[in-house]
Amino acid sequence: MLAYDQLSGRLLVEQVYDHQSNVGIGNTALLVFDAWEQAWYLQYKNVKADYVTALWDIVNWADVATRYTAAKPA
């Protein structure tokens, strides 16, 4: 997960195990890729790298930018 850390004012990359409970306190999620096997296996078989490459083509960058702007202090 790409997150904005309110305390340091920096972008962080965090590994989130269950998509719920271990997001850093005060961090705002900007972009999340689901890399669990059920997200990619049926379509991409054993080639997880192809799945990750394909994700970049569907990222809604306008939404990521909006989240980033909203997370930063004015």
The domain in which residue 60 lies consists of 2-71
User: What is the distance between the alpha carbons of residues 9 and 71, in angstroms, rounded to a whole number?
Assistant: 9
Is a pLDDT exceeding 70 seen at residue 65?
Answer: yes
Split at pLDDT 50, 70, 90, the class of 68 is very high
Report residue 47's pLDDT band, with 50, 70 and 90 as the boundaries: confident
Q: What is the CATH number of the domain that holds 44?
A: 3.55.40.20
**pLDDT of res. 50:** 84
Q: What is the pTM of this model?
A: 0.75
Number of domains in the chain: 1
23 pLDDT exceeds 80?
Answer: no
pLDDT at position 66: 97
pLDDT average, residue stretch 29-56: 79
